[in-house]
Structure 1
Amino acid sequence: MKASWVILHAVLALHISLTWSFNGELAELECPDDCDCHYFRINWVTDCSDSNLTEIPYEELSLNVYVLDLNNNRITSVGPFPADIKMRRLQMADNLMTEVKKESFAGLNYLIDADFSGNMITRVDPDSFDDSPGFITFELQGNPLDKVEGPFLSIKSLLYLDISNCGLKYLNPLFFANITALSTLDLSGNPLGVIDNKVLEPLSSLETLKMNDCNLTYIANYAFVSLENLKNLELSGNIFTTTDWSSVFDYLPRLEYLDLRYSAIKQLPETVFSNNTYLRTLILAQNELNSFDVSHTVGKLQQLDSLDLSFCNLSLPLSEDAFVNATKIRSLYLSGNSLFASDLLVALAPLSHLEKLSLSNCGLTRLPDTFHNFKSLQELDISHNPLDDAFVKLLTPLDKLEYLNMGYSNLSYIAPTSFSKMTNMRRLVLSGNEVNNLEAGLFGNLTRLESLELNFCGLRRAINATLFFNNLTYTDLTELQLAGNPLHVSKSGPLFPKQLSRLENLDLSNCNLTFLPPDAFYWTRNITTLVLRGNHFSTPNDLRFLELLPKLEVLDLRYNNLSTFSPKDIAVNPNVEKLKLIGNPWKCDCSVAELWDWANLEKGNLAILEGSTIGAEHVTVGKTNKRKKLLVCSYDTNKQPLPIIMNKTVPGRRPFIKPQRVLTSTNRTWAKYVRESGCEQPANLQRSPRAAKTDSEGHLRGSELEPNTWAAAAIKAAVVYITLMAIIGIAFVLAKKRRAPKTAAFDKNN
C-alpha cells in the first residue's frame, strides 16, 4: 500500500510540474549572443537576421528552436546542425551560400520549411532533405541555378516549390520526376522561352502553376496533358506568339483562375475556352486586343464570375451581345480602354447581377444612362476620368451602392445633393480632386458611411461641422483619411466636429504638421489608430494631444524627426498595442532601453515596438520580401572612441555568453543596443502579470484563448488525461494484487 502511494505521488508531481510551466511564463531557452530570441505564440524563435554573421552559431542554439532566422547575413555554408535539434523552419535568405548539400541538413528530422532565397546557390543536392520526412516547403527564388541534367529534387513530401527568378533557361523531362506530390509550383521569372510536352507530365497533383515573366513565346499543345487537377494558372508578363491556346487549355477541365495579363496576346480563337466550363476568373488585362470580339470568346463562359479587360486597347465597340451569355458576371473591369457612354449603355444591359464595375481611366466625359439596371451594384470606380458635375444625376438610382471612387477626376466642385440618395454608402473616395471648398451638407445623408478618403485634395483645414447634419452623430463613420493635405492647424481648439465622435482610424500622414494643439481631439476621443507618418514632430512635447486619446491602440510616428521617446509620453494611453517608430533619427541612449524594457516587462510584448521582433509576415510562405524594417539608433559621432560595453545581467534582458563586447559601428539595432548598453532599469519597472499573458505575437491577453493559449490548454488537457489514466491503471494493478492470494486459495479449494 505504501509503494502505491509513492507511485501516486510521483505521478501527481509529474503532472504538476508539466502543467506549471504553462500556467506561468514559458521558459527562457538558449540564445546566441548576436541574436534576439523570443516566443512566437508558444514556439521559440531565434532571430539572427541582419547580424553580419559569417557562420551559424551552432553551439549557442537551443535544441528546441522552432524558427531560426538567419536572413541577410554573410554565411557561405551550412551544417551540420547539433544532433536532436527540433527546428521546424530555417530561414537563410540573402546570404552567400553557393550550394545546398545533403550533409548540411542531416538529422533535421523535424524540418518542415526552408527559405534559401536570394543567395548565390548554383547547385542543389537532390537528396538534401532525406532526413526530413515532413518537409513540405522549399523556397529558392532568386538564386543563379546551373542547368539541371536530371531530377532537380527527390522529396516525396514536397508540396510547395518556389524556384522563380533562378535563371533557368531549360527544364529537362526528368526535372520534376521525383517531386510528384507538388501542389504549388512557381517558375516565374525564369527565361524559359518554351514549355515542351514532357516537362510537366509528372505533376498530376498540381493545383497552382505560376509561370509569369518567363519570356514564353510558345507552350506545346500537350504540355498540360497531365494537369487535369490544375485550378490556378498564371502566365502573365510573357510574349506569346504562336501558341495554340485551344489545344493548350483543352486539358484543363478544372481550371478556375487564369491570368494572362500583359502577355502580348493579340487575338484568341472562338473555341479557346470551350473545355474550361468551370472558369470563374479570367484576367486578360494589358494585352493589345484591338480587334478582340468579346461576344465570341469570353462572352460564352456561362460560369464566369470575374472578367478583367483593363488596358486592352479595345478598338471594337462593345456590342449589345457582348455579355449576353455571360450574365453571371459580378465583377467587370474595363479600366484603361477608350470607351464611349453609348456603347456601354447597350453592352452592360444584360449584366443585371453586376456587383463591381471599374471604368477608371476610360476618357469618359459623361457616364452611360444605364445604372438603373444595376440593382445589385455595390462598388463603382469611375476615377481618373475628365468628369464634371453633370454626370452626378446619372448615379442617383444607385441607392444600394456601398463603394464609390471618384478620385482624380478633375473635380473642383461637388454639388451638395450629389450623394443625397446613396444612403447605403460605406466607403467614399474623393482623393486627388482640388475640392478646397466642400459644400455644406455634402455628406449629410451618408449616415452609414464608414470610410471617407480625402487624400491630396489641397485642403487647408480639416473637416468641419457644416458638412454633416447638426446634432447627428455618424455612428458608423470610423475611418477618415486626410493624407497629403497641407493642413493649417490652429494653436488651440478641436480639429474635428462633434458629429465624428465615433471616429476610430485617422490618417494625417504627410500633412506637413509640426504640432497639433493639446485639445485637437476633444470631440474624437474614441480614436484607436492614429497615423502621423511623414510629418515633422520632433519632441515628445509636440505629442501632448495624446492625453485625450485613452483608447489609442496603434500610434504611427514613422519618419518624423523624433530622437527620443519615453513610456511616460504614452502613460495616458494604456491600451497601446503597436508603436510604429521606424525611420526616426533615434539616439542610442538609455531612453531606448527604457522603452524596450517597458514593452518587454510592463506590456509583456516586445512586438508592440514594430521592427523589434519577428512577426507572422516574416515567415509567411511565398512572401517575396521577408526582410524586416528594423528599429535603429545611432551614437553621437562626436564621442570617440565608441564605448566598451560590459556584460551586465538585467531583468528582462538576456546576458551575453561572451564576457565583453566592443562596439565597431555607430549604428545599432535597438535589440542589440539594449543588450549591450548596460542601462539601469527604473526601480518601479517590474515584470507585470500581463507579461505572462500573450497576445497574437506570443503573449496572453486577458482570458482570451488565442492560438498559443489553445495549444497550452490542449497540452494541459492531454497531460491531465494521461495522468488520470495512469492513476486508474496503478489502482487497478494494486487491487488485482490484493485479490490474487484469495483467488489462488479459492481455486485450490475447488
Structure 2
Amino acid sequence: MSDQNLLRKMWHIPHLVLIVLMCSNVWAFNGELAELECPDDCDCHYFRVNWMTDCSDSNLTEIPYDELSLNVYVLDLNDNLISDVQPFPADIKMRRIQLAHNSMTEVKKESFAGLNYLIDADFSGNRITKIDPDAFDDSPGFITLELQSNPLAEVEGPFLSIKSLLYLDISNCSLRRLNENFFSNITSLSTLDLSENPLNVIDDNKGFYPLISLETLKLSHCNLSWISNDAFSKQGRLKTLELSGNNLYKTDWSAVLNNLIRLESFDLRKSGLVHLPETMFDMNLYLRTVILAENDLINLDVASTLGNLQQLDVLDLSYCNLTLPLSEDAFANATKIRTLYLSGNSLFASDLLVALAPLTNLNKLSLSNCGLSRLPDTFHKFLSLQELDISHNPLNDAFVKLLAPLETLEYLNMGYSNLSYIHPASFSKMTSMRRLVLSGNDVNSLEAGLFGDLTRLESLELNFCGLRRPLNATLFFNNFTYTDLTELRLAGNPLRVSPTGPLLPKQLSRLQTLDLGNCNLTFLPAEAFYWTRNITNLILMGNHFSYPSDLRFLEILPKLEMLDLRYNNLTTFSPKQISLNPNVEKLKLIGNPWKCDCSVAELWDWAHLIKGDLSILEGSTIAAEHITVGKSKRKKLLACHYDTVKQPLPIVISKTVPGRKPFLKSQRTLTASNRTWAKYVRESGCEPMPTLQRTARAAIQPEGYVSDEWVHMKLAHHQQNTWALAALNSIMVYVALMSILGLTYLISQKRTNQPISDKDN
C-alpha cells in the first residue's frame, strides 16, 4: 500500500468520527450538558468548556454535597468555615478542589475516596496538622498538592504516598525537620517548595536523596545557617535552586554545588553572604541566571568568582555594598551577559567606564540608586542596549551632554532623580526612544518642545510629578501627529481640570491608553477627549466620580475597550452609560459602594445576554488567575450591600426568572448585608430589563413574529449555546490530533516493512 493510498484511507476516518461525536454532542447538549445543578449559596457557570462551582466566601460550615453537579470540574470552597470534609457523591467528575482558607485540621483518606478524576487540590491557609499519606489513592492522575501555610506536625516516615505527584507546595508549614524517608514515596516530584519553614540546617540525613527527578527546589526564608556538602548530591537534574532570605555564610558552596551540573538559575538573594570562594561555580557551567543581590559582598572580586560563567545571561548584584572598584576584567569572560543589575551600590562613572566595556551584548542595564551625579561616557559602545534605568540618582538638572550618546536607547527610566527642571533639548538626539519614565520628579511645568523630537515614542510616564494641568500642545511639534505615542500615564498628579474643552492636545490623537488614576478628579468635561477619540483603555481608578452623569465624556470614545472605575464613589451604573461604546470588553468596577438593587442585575444581564461574556465585568465570576497553581486564590469580587439602616435584610423567595438558575430551597433568609453581584443577581428576582430583552430578541430571533416565551427560552440558554460551540471546537481539535497520530503510525508501519492488518486499517 502506497503512502498516497494510506492518506486516502485516513481521509475518511476523521469525518466518520466527527459525525459520531457531533451526534453524541447533540444528545449531550440536550441532556447531560443542559443547565447543571448549582448549590443555593454558590455561583455556577462555564469556564472555557468546564463547569465551575464557586462557593467561595459564603460562610459555609459544610460542603453542600447533595446540591453538587456530578459534572463539576472545579469546586471552589475557598474562604469559608469548613472544618470537616465528608466523602463526595459517587461518580463525581471533579478535577480540582479548592479549600484554601478554611478551618480544616486534617486531610483524611475517606474524605477523598472515589475521586477518580482528581488532578489538583489546594488546602492552603487552613489549620491542618496531619495528612493521611494515602489520602489520594483513588486519584491515579493526581499531580498537584498545595498545603502552604498550615501548621503541620512533625512527620515520622513517609509524608505522602502519591507516585504521580509532580508539584508539592509545603511552604510556611512550621516544618523543623525532614526525616530521611520524608520524600521516599513521592519520587516523581519535579517542583518542591519548602520556603518559610524553620529548617535551620540541611544536614546529612539524606532527606532529598529520593527526589532524583527534581528540577525546581525552593528553600527561601528557611532560617538556614548551613547546608551539608552532600545535601543535593542526587539532584543531578536540578535546574532552578532558590535559597534567598537565609543566613548561609558558613556553607561550603563549592561542595554543595559540585553535583548540580545542569543548574541554570541560582537565587541567593539576601542570604547573609560576606565571601564567595573563587571556585564556587566551577562545575556550574550552564548557569544563565545568578542572583546575589542584597548580600554584604564588600570584597567581592567579580572577575575571580564569576569569570568561568561564559553562558551567563542575567546577573543581579544590586544592593551588595560593593566597595572594591569594578576592574576592567570584571566581566571580561562573561561577555554574553545581556541583563545586568548594579542598583543600590555606590558606584563611580570612571569605574563603570572600564568595567562595562566588554559587555557589548548588553541589552538591559540598571544603575538605579547608585549615587551617580553623572553617567559614564561609554554608552556608544553598547550597540544592543535597549533599556537603561538610572532612576533614584542625584542627577539634578545636568542632562544634555550626559544623555547625548544614547541615540539607540528605547527605554529610559530617570524617575525620582531630584529633577525640578528638564532642559528642552535633553531628548533632542534620542530619536529611537519608545518608552520614557520621568515619574516622581517635581516638575511642576514642562518646557515647550521637550518631547518634540521623540517621534517614535510609544509610552510616556509622568506619574506623581506634581503637575497641575495636563499636557499642552507646546510640548510637541506643531501640526505633527505622534502616531506611535499610544500610552500616557499621569496618575497621582493633582490635576485641575477646566469645566469645558479638551483635556489633551491634537498631537496625541493616536493615544490608546490613558492613566488618570488618583488625580483627585470629581468630573471631566464632556469634551475632555475631543482630540483623543482613539482611546481604548481609560484608567480613572481612585478618583471621586459619584454619579453616572459624571461620565458623559464616554460618549465621544467609540473605540473604548477597557474602562477602569475602581475605588470611586459610584453606587449605581447602567448599560446606558456605555451604550455608545460598543467595543467595551472590560469594565473594572470593584471597590465602589454599590447598592444591592436591580441596576446591578441590569448591568449583569447586559454583560451576560448582550455582550455574551460575564468576564467583561472584572470580578463577576471565577477567572483563570483564581485557579492557577502556586498563587494566592483570594479573589476581589464585585460586591453590593443592602441598606440595613432603612430596612432589614430580605427573605429571598425562589423565583423563576429567565437566565437565572432556580434555588433548590423555596425560600432563604440572608445573614449578611454584603453580597457578591453573582449571588445578588440570582437571589434578587430582578427580571431582565425590557430594553435588554428587545435587544436580545433583535439579535437572535428568526424572521417573523416571535413570542415572549421564545425569547425567554433563548435568554435562558444563551450561555449554554456559547459553551456548546466551544465544546464542538475542542472535539474537532481532538479528532484532528487523533487522525494525525493514526496516520503517523500507519506510515511508520509501511516504511519499516511491517504488515498492516485489517485491524490497523
TM-score by shorter chain over 0.5 = yes
Shift of 1:300: 2.9
Shift of 1:718: 9.6
Determine the structure 1 residue equivalent to 2:210: 202
Are 2:280 and 1:275 equivalent residues in the alignment? no
* Change in CA separation of 1:709 and 1:15 when aligned onto 2, cut-off 3 Å: closer
Measure the CA separation in 2 of the matches of 1:425 and 1:253. 41
Q: How does 1:614-693 map to 2 (within 5 A)?
A: 614-623=622-631, 625-686=632-693
Determine the structure 1 residue equivalent to 2:301: 293
Structure 1: 4+ residue segments shifted above 4 A: 11-15, 19-26, 687-693, 697-701, 715-721
Secondary structure of residue in 2 paired with 1:592? helix
Determine the structure 1 residue equivalent to 2:436: 428
Give the stretch that moved more between structures: 572-581 or 108-117. Answer: 572-581
Q: For residues 367-388 of structure 1, give each alpha carbon's deviation from its aligned partner in whole angstroms, at most 9, with x where no partner exists.
A: 1111121111100000000002
Measure the CA separation in 1 of the matches of 2:429 and 2:721. 47
* Change in CA separation of 1:393 and 1:699 when aligned onto 2, cut-off 3 Å: farther
Alignment equivalent of 2:79, drawn from 52, 72, 80: 72
Paired letter, 2:385: L
Whether the aligned pair in 1 keeps the contact of 2:151 and 2:174 (CA below 8 Å) is: yes
Measure the CA separation in 2 of the matches of 1:312 and 1:413. 32
Whether the aligned pair in 2 keeps the contact of 1:318 and 1:343 (CA below 8 Å) is: yes
Measure the CA separation in 2 of the matches of 1:554 and 1:488. 24
Shift of 1:394: 2.5
Are 2:117 and 1:98 equivalent residues in the alignment? no
Q: For residues 392-411 of structure 1, give each alpha carbon's deviation from its aligned partner in whole angstroms, at most 9, with x where no partner exists.
A: 32222222211100000001
Q: How does 1:115-264 map to 2 (within 5 A)?
A: 115-197=122-204, 198-264=206-272
Shift of 1:472: 1.7
Are 2:518 and 1:510 equivalent residues in the alignment? yes
* Change in CA separation of 1:465 and 1:226 when aligned onto 2, cut-off 3 Å: same
Determine the structure 2 residue equivalent to 1:724: none
Shift of 1:19: 4.2
Alignment equivalent of 1:390, drawn from 387, 398, 410: 398
Q: How many percent identity over aligned positions? A: 74
Alignment equivalent of 2:618, drawn from 587, 605, 610: 610
Secondary structure of residue in 2 paired with 1:226? coil
Determine the structure 2 residue equivalent to 1:5: none
Q: For residues 486-526 of structure 1, give each alpha carbon's deviation from its aligned partner in whole angstroms, at most 9, with x where no partner exists.
A: 01111111111111111111110000000000010111111
Determine the structure 1 residue equivalent to 2:4: none
Determine the structure 1 residue equivalent to 2:509: 501
Measure the CA separation in 2 of the matches of 1:313 and 1:242. 20
Whether the aligned pair in 2 keeps the contact of 1:604 and 1:699 (CA below 8 Å) is: no
Determine the structure 1 residue equivalent to 2:733: 714
Secondary structure of residue in 1 paired with 2:51? strand
Alignment equivalent of 2:381, drawn from 370, 373, 377: 373
Give the stretch that moved more between structures: 222-231 or 195-204. Answer: 195-204
* Change in CA separation of 1:443 and 1:15 when aligned onto 2, cut-off 3 Å: closer
Are 2:66 and 1:59 equivalent residues in the alignment? yes
Paired letter, 1:508: L
Shift of 1:361: 0.5
Paired letter, 1:273: F
Shift of 1:25: 13
* Change in CA separation of 1:24 and 1:499 when aligned onto 2, cut-off 3 Å: farther
Measure the CA separation in 2 of the matches of 1:174 and 1:408. 53
Determine the structure 1 residue equivalent to 2:15: none
* Change in CA separation of 1:698 and 1:368 when aligned onto 2, cut-off 3 Å: farther
Measure the CA separation in 1 of the matches of 2:95 and 2:207. 31
* Change in CA separation of 1:460 and 1:607 when aligned onto 2, cut-off 3 Å: same
Q: RMSD between aligned alpha carbons?
A: 2.4
Give the stretch that moved more between structures: 178-187 or 290-299. Answer: 290-299
Shift of 1:658: 0.3
Alignment equivalent of 2:543, drawn from 535, 539, 560: 535
Measure the CA separation in 1 of the matches of 2:183 and 2:720. 39
Paired letter, 2:370: C
Give the stretch that moved more between structures: 640-649 or 353-362. Answer: 640-649
Give the stretch that moved more between structures: 98-107 or 23-32. Answer: 23-32
| Unaligned residue ranges in structure 2 (runs of 5+) | 1-17, 701-712, 741-761
Secondary structure of residue in 2 paired with 1:685? helix
Are 2:553 and 1:560 equivalent residues in the alignment? no
Determine the structure 1 residue equivalent to 2:758: none
Paired letter, 2:729: W
Q: How does 1:404-443 map to 2 (within 5 A)?
A: 404-443=412-451
Whether the aligned pair in 1 keeps the contact of 2:249 and 2:275 (CA below 8 Å) is: no
Secondary structure of residue in 2 paired with 1:645? strand
* Change in CA separation of 1:673 and 1:716 when aligned onto 2, cut-off 3 Å: farther
Give the stretch that moved more between structures: 389-398 or 76-85. Answer: 389-398
Determine the structure 2 residue equivalent to 1:587: 595
Shift of 1:422: 1.5
Whether the aligned pair in 2 keeps the contact of 1:40 and 1:698 (CA below 8 Å) is: no
Determine the structure 2 residue equivalent to 1:734: none
Q: TM-score, normalised by structure 1?
A: 0.91
| Unaligned residue ranges in structure 1 (runs of 5+) | 1-10, 722-750
* Change in CA separation of 1:438 and 1:206 when aligned onto 2, cut-off 3 Å: same
Secondary structure of residue in 2 paired with 1:295? helix
Shift of 1:717: 7.1
Measure the CA separation in 2 of the matches of 1:683 and 1:642. 27
Measure the CA separation in 2 of the matches of 1:562 and 1:156. 53
Measure the CA separation in 1 of the matches of 2:722 and 2:387. 39
Paired letter, 2:448: A
Measure the CA separation in 1 of the matches of 2:168 and 2:518. 41
* Change in CA separation of 1:337 and 1:113 when aligned onto 2, cut-off 3 Å: same
Are 2:101 and 1:84 equivalent residues in the alignment? no
Measure the CA separation in 1 of the matches of 2:372 and 2:20. 78
Secondary structure of residue in 1 paired with 2:111? helix
* Number of equivalences: 705
Shift of 1:593: 1.3
Secondary structure of residue in 2 paired with 1:390? coil
Whether the aligned pair in 1 keeps the contact of 2:34 and 2:720 (CA below 8 Å) is: no
Whether the aligned pair in 2 keeps the contact of 1:506 and 1:529 (CA below 8 Å) is: yes
Q: TM-score, normalised by structure 2?
A: 0.89
Paired letter, 1:101: K
Paired letter, 2:233: V
* Change in CA separation of 1:673 and 1:330 when aligned onto 2, cut-off 3 Å: same
Are 2:37 and 1:37 equivalent residues in the alignment? no
Determine the structure 1 residue equivalent to 2:703: none
Q: For residues 50-73 of structure 1, give each alpha carbon's deviation from its aligned partner in whole angstroms, at most 9, with x where no partner exists.
A: 000011111111111000000000
Measure the CA separation in 2 of the matches of 1:698 and 1:403. 47
Q: For residues 328-372 of structure 1, give each alpha carbon's deviation from its aligned partner in whole angstroms, at most 9, with x where no partner exists.
A: 111110000111111111111111111111000001111111112
Shift of 1:318: 0.9
Measure the CA separation in 2 of the matches of 1:597 and 1:233. 49
Q: For residues 5-59 of structure 1, give each alpha carbon's deviation from its aligned partner in whole angstroms, at most 9, with x where no partner exists.
A: xxxxxx9898545247679996321110000000001100000000000111111
Alignment equivalent of 2:606, drawn from 584, 593, 598: 598
* Change in CA separation of 1:715 and 1:639 when aligned onto 2, cut-off 3 Å: farther
Measure the CA separation in 1 of the matches of 2:557 and 2:739. 45
Paired letter, 1:635: Y
* Change in CA separation of 1:38 and 1:712 when aligned onto 2, cut-off 3 Å: farther
Determine the structure 2 residue equivalent to 1:464: 472
Q: For residues 86-108 of structure 1, give each alpha carbon's deviation from its aligned partner in whole angstroms, at most 9, with x where no partner exists.
A: 11010000000111111111111
Q: How does 1:340-351 map to 2 (within 5 A)?
A: 340-351=348-359
* Change in CA separation of 1:692 and 1:460 when aligned onto 2, cut-off 3 Å: farther
Measure the CA separation in 1 of the matches of 2:30 and 2:402. 63
Whether the aligned pair in 2 keeps the contact of 1:367 and 1:391 (CA below 8 Å) is: no
Whether the aligned pair in 1 keeps the contact of 2:122 and 2:147 (CA below 8 Å) is: yes
